[in-house]
Amino acid sequence: MTQTSQPPRYFALIPAAGVGARMAADGPKQYLTVGGKPMLRHALDAFLASPLIAHTYVVVSPEDGQIAAVLPPAGVTALRCGGATRMDSVLNALRALQGQVGENDMVLVHDAARPGLTPALIAKLIAGVADDPAGGLLALPVVDTVKRYTAAGAGGEGAANVATVPRDGLWLAQTPQMFSYALLARALGAATDAKAITDDASAVEALGLSPRLVEGHPRNLKVTLPADIRIAEMYLAAPQ
């Protein structure tokens, strides 16, 4: 009898150990109220509403005192192993989940500061990546003209320089970013500079692989500056 491999399960992983310094807020930005509830809860609810997600994990710092009030009654587990960088938090979580998540199971890593995620976008990512061994991520093609600015030298020497960068082939990475547990653990474990790994896809790319890009949606923006909250709320108030 020919044995068939089990289809992969899909797990969500949300690193939420950051302090949100650029928001100039009193606490971590993932707990700021957006559209009537904490920003992190919007992301959690999107995964909970997706029938494709087996379980959701959120990674917080060991001393986090706010996560308990944000967690829904079921379906989400908090992992208190957040690290100094995003990469550290994700890698710590993968190590904590070893044995609970299969090597071929898929892990969807999502920014806590992207409250506009929807079950439809989750489904689109899963369908778009399909069985691509390099995984994939939501992203948006660049539509604006891109300028590269180089400041004048120290002491005012030289002149500032502005140049137009061709936008053909340029995309803005979003999340979730989805990879098999084995690939993501290998890629992050092989990375030597955590600060250079700005997203999970960059670690996978460093292995020589090319993750698939699946077109996302502007509503899935990352809240980074105070003005972004109002934009996020406009999307949250609109029909999905």
Domain ranges of the chain: 10-237
pLDDT of 83 over the 60 cut: yes
Nearest one of 106, 102, 142, 105 to 125, comparing CA atoms: 106
DSSP 98: B
Written as six digits, the tokens of 217 are 């949606």
Q: What's CA 93's distance to the chain center, in Å?
A: 14
Give me the pLDDT at residue 74, please.
96
Mean pLDDT (whole number) for 66-87 = 96
Give me the pLDDT at residue 18, please.
74
pTM of the model as a whole: 0.92
Listing DSSP states for the chain in one string gives ----PPPPPEEEEEE-----GGGT-SS-GGGSEETTEEHHHHHHHHHHT-TT-SEEEEE--TT--SHHHHS-SSSEEEE----SSHHHHHHHHHHHTBTTB-TTSEEEE--TT-TT--HHHHHHHHHHHTT-TT-EEEEEE--S-EEEEEPPPGGG-S--EEEEEP-TT-EEEEEEEEEEHHHHHHHHHH-S-GGG--SHHHHHHTTT--PEEEE--GGG----SHHHHHHHHHHHHS--
Q: Which fold has domain 10-237?
A: Spore Coat Polysaccharide Biosynthesis Protein SpsA; Chain A (3.90.550)
Mean of pLDDT over the chain: 92
pLDDT of 21 over the 50 cut: no
Q: Quick one: pLDDT band at residue 77, thresholds 50, 70, 90? A: very high
Amino acid at 43: A
pLDDT of 3 over the 60 cut: no
Q: Quick one: pLDDT band at residue 24, thresholds 50, 70, 90? A: very low
Give me the pLDDT at residue 160, please.
78
pLDDT of 171 over the 50 cut: yes
pLDDT of 234 over the 80 cut: yes
- In this predicted model, what pLDDT tens digit does every residue of 91-141 receive, in sequence order? 999 999 999 999 999 999 999 999 999 999 999 999 999 999 999 999 999
Give me the pLDDT at residue 134, please.
98
Q: Quick one: pLDDT band at residue 222, thresholds 50, 70, 90? A: very high
pLDDT of 4 over the 70 cut: no
Distance CA 154, CA 16 (A): 37
- For the chain, give the percent of residues with pLDDT over 90: 82
Give me the pLDDT at residue 2, please.
46
